Amino acid sequence: MANQEGNSRIPFLVVCTALSVIVSLYLIFVYAPTERTMGDVQRIFYFHMPSAWASFLAFFVAFAAGIAYLVRWEPHWDTLELASVEIGLLFSMIALVTGSIWARPIWNTWWTWEPRLTTTLVMWLYYFASLMLRRLVDNPERQARFGAVLSIVGFVNVPVVFLAIRLWRTIHPVLLSSDKGLAMEPAMLLALGVSLVTFTLLYACLLMIRVRVEHLRHEVDRLRELGPRSLSNR
């Protein structure tokens, strides 16, 4: 029953996400004004920051699901943890790529080892390695425990990434400062806000679909195991 309810929510969520994407694109490329110093390249920011936010959200969900699995030992939490880590990797990669594209005309380099970029890369490498290490374990229960522990430990780096521009001297731009407040015009803030909502919906949409695919995979594996047994019983 729970799976059927989840399946019925997916089309509705897909429609909401698609509408939100259309509104975001209009606000980003038409409604929001061109930044005076950086020009049109600044519009990458409306994809860069929301993708970073979506990766933080994904890794937090994986962190919470990992704790829930170690407490309850229910396979659903392992599926949620795995799916969220995979999607978090996707969004953090988008954040790294868009950041590099943005940096090239502004900093005259594709990459610089400043704190925010470095900690983000370390975060991405850790979660990527955690997925690879997880696949080295054959036993499903041990694999789930291993993945849960790795997601819990890995989340320690997420606040470090978020606070990097405040903990160390960096050339990374700061959206909110104590002396100047929000350094954006209202139209830009609206475009950013809607884009944040869009990426959040996109994360939720991808998560529901990925969890559903994983449940179907487990069901196929179960039926494959039952097949030879049913034939032997005959």
Q: Which of 36-45, 113-122, 162-171 has the lowest mean pLDDT?
A: 162-171
Residue 156 to residues 55, 150, 163: CA-CA distances in angstroms? 14, 10, 12
Confidence of residue 61 (pLDDT cuts 50, 70, 90): very high
Residue 217 pLDDT > 50: yes
At 229 the pLDDT is 56
Task: List, in order, residues 6 or more apart from 86 with CB less than 8 Å away.
Answer: 131, 210
Closest by alpha carbon to 118, among 155, 171, 82, 60?
171
Q: What percent of the chain has pLDDT over 90?
A: 58
Separation of alpha carbons 44 and 26, rounded Å: 14
Confidence of residue 227 (pLDDT cuts 50, 70, 90): low
Rounded to the nearest angstrom, the gap between the alpha carbon of residue 60 and the centroid of all alpha carbons in its chain is 9
- pTM recorded for the entire structure: 0.87
Determine the Cα angle at 162 with ends 161 and 167, to 5°: 80
Closest by alpha carbon to 108, among 178, 38, 22?
38
Cβ 93 vs Cβ 201: under 8 Å? no
Separation of alpha carbons 49 and 56, rounded Å: 11
Residue 233 pLDDT > 70: no
Residue 10 pLDDT > 60: yes
Q: What percent of the chain has pLDDT over 70?
A: 88
Torsion region of 225: left, alpha or beta (phi above 0 gives left; psi -120 to 50 gives alpha): alpha
Residue of higher predicted confidence among 120 and 182: 120
Confidence of residue 5 (pLDDT cuts 50, 70, 90): low
Mean pLDDT across the chain: 87
Question: Which three-class secondary structure state does DSSP give residue 50?
Answer: helix
Residue 151 pLDDT > 50: yes
Separation of alpha carbons 84 and 98, rounded Å: 21
Separation of alpha carbons 207 and 210, rounded Å: 5
At 106 the pLDDT is 83
Residue of higher predicted confidence among 217 and 31: 31
Residue 2 pLDDT > 50: no
CB-side exposure of 153: number of CA atoms within 13 Å? Answer: 10
Cβ 7 vs Cβ 212: under 8 Å? yes
At 166 the pLDDT is 80
Residue 24 pLDDT > 80: yes
Confidence of residue 11 (pLDDT cuts 50, 70, 90): confident
Residue of higher predicted confidence among 225 and 102: 102
